[in-house]
Chains A and B, each alone.
Chain A
Amino acid sequence: MSLRALFIRSVVVLAFIWAGPIQASDRRITPEMISVALLQQGYEIIAETRTLLGRVRFVASNELIWREVVLDLSSGQIIRDYAVEFSPSNPPEIHKDEMPRGGTVLPESSIPQLSN
C-alpha cells in the first residue's frame, strides 16, 4: 500500500471513530436532563457552571448529602458523579459554588443514577 493510500485510509478510520458519539445522539446526556434528574431525586441545585474546558459542572445538595456531577458536552457523557455525606455534628463549610471537602464518600451503588 502506498503512503498516500495509507494516509487516506487512516483519515477515514479516524473520522468514523470521531463521528461515533454524534451518530448515537439519542443516548447523549444534556445539562437539562441532569438538572431534572437531580431535582427529581430531591436535590437542590447549588450551582451550575461552565468549567475552564467547557464542561458543565453541577453542585447539588440534599440536606447533608452533597453531590458533584460533571458533564462533557462534546461526548454527552458524565465524567464525574460522586456524593459525600456529612454528619449533623460536623456540617460542611460552604464556599459559594464549591463542592465541600470532608465527609464520607458514598459508595456508587447508593447514589441514584442520573442517566436512565
Chain B
Amino acid sequence: MRLNFIILLMVLVQTAGALFFIGDIGMSVLGIERQPIDWRLREAMEIGAAIALLIGLVLSGVLLLQSQRRLSRAEARLQRASGAFIEVVDESFALWALTRAERDVAFLLLKGFSTQEITGIRKTSEGTVKAQTNAIYRKAGVSGRGQLLSLFIDDLLAETHIPTPPIEPVSRA
C-alpha cells in the first residue's frame, strides 16, 4: 500500500519533469518566444528530476531483483516437480517389471515421439519398437499411449487437486 503510494508519487514527479523538459524543448524547436521561467522554479525542477531519476533507478533495481528471485524460485519448484515426476515414472516402470529397452521406449512414448521417430532414435526396426510398445501397454494394463500418459497425469493431479463437492445452500427457516 505504502509502496504503491511512493510509486504513484514518483510517476507524478516524473510526469511533471518530463512535461517540463519536453515543453521546453518543444517551444525551443518551434521557435515560440517566451520569457524564461523563474530561475528558482527551474532549479527546483532540476532537483526534482534528479531525485526522481535516482529513485527510479533504485526502484527498478529492486523490482528487477525481486523478479529475478521469483524466477529462480519458480525454476527450483519446477525442477522439484520434474524430479518428483521422474520418480513416479521410475517407480511405475519398476512395478510393471519393464526391461531396460522397454523403459527407454516407454520414456520416449511419454515424451510424445512417434513409433518411426523411436525407431530412428534407438536404431532398431519398426517391428521391434512395436513389439516393445505392445509389451509396455500389456504390462501397464492400458490400451494405448493416451492411457499410459493418463496414468501419470492422474497421479500428479490426485496430489495437487482434490475436487470438493459443491456446497449446498443453507436453507433459512
A-side interface residues toward B, CB under 8 Å? 51-53, 55, 57, 68, 70, 80, 82, 84, 98-99, 101-103, 105
Secondary structure at chain B's binding surface: helix, strand, loop or mixed?
Answer: helix
Q: How far is the CB of A85 from chain B (nearest CB, A)?
A: 11
Size of the B side of the interface (Cβ < 8 Å), in residues, is 11
Residues of B within 8 A of A57 (CB): 39
Residues of A within 8 A of B44 (CB): 52
CA A102 to CA B40, docked complex, whole Å = 17
Residues of A within 8 A of B54 (CB): none
Residue of A nearest to B34 (CB): A105
Q: List 26 A-B contacts (CB under 8 A).
A: A51-B39, A51-B43, A52-B40, A52-B43, A52-B44, A52-B47, A53-B46, A53-B47, A55-B43, A68-B36, A68-B39, A70-B39, A80-B36, A80-B39, A82-B35, A82-B36, A84-B35, A98-B38, A99-B38, A99-B39, A101-B35, A101-B38, A102-B35, A103-B35, A105-B34, A105-B35
Q: Bits for B2-18, please: 1 = Cβ < 8 Å to A, else 0.
A: 00000000000000000
CA A89 to CA B38, docked complex, whole Å = 24
CA A55 to CA B40, docked complex, whole Å = 11
Q: How far is the CB of A56 from chain B (nearest CB, A)?
A: 11
B33 within 8 A of A: yes
Q: Which of B34, B35, B40, B47 has the most CB of A within 10 A?
A: B35
CA A10 to CA B38, docked complex, whole Å = 38
Q: Which residues from 18 to 41 on chain B have a C-beta closer than 8 Å to any C-beta of chain A?
A: 33-36, 38-40
Given pairs A82-B36, A99-B39, 13 additional interface contacts (CB within 8 A) = A51-B39, A53-B47, A55-B43, A57-B39, A70-B39, A80-B36, A80-B39, A82-B35, A84-B35, A99-B38, A102-B35, A105-B33, A105-B34
Q: How far is the CB of A77 from chain B (nearest CB, A)?
A: 15
CA A53 to CA B47, docked complex, whole Å = 9
Do residues A51 and B40 form an inter-chain contact, with CB atoms below 8 A?
yes
Residues of B within 8 A of A103 (CB): 35
Q: How far is the CB of B38 from chain A (nearest CB, A)?
A: 7
Q: Which of B33, B38, B39 has the most CB of A within 10 A?
A: B39
Residues of A within 8 A of B38 (CB): 98-99, 101
Residue of B nearest to A101 (CB): B35
CA A53 to CA B46, docked complex, whole Å = 9
Residues of B within 8 A of A53 (CB): 43, 46-47
Residues of A within 8 A of B47 (CB): 52-53
Residues of A within 8 A of B39 (CB): 51, 57, 68, 70, 80, 99
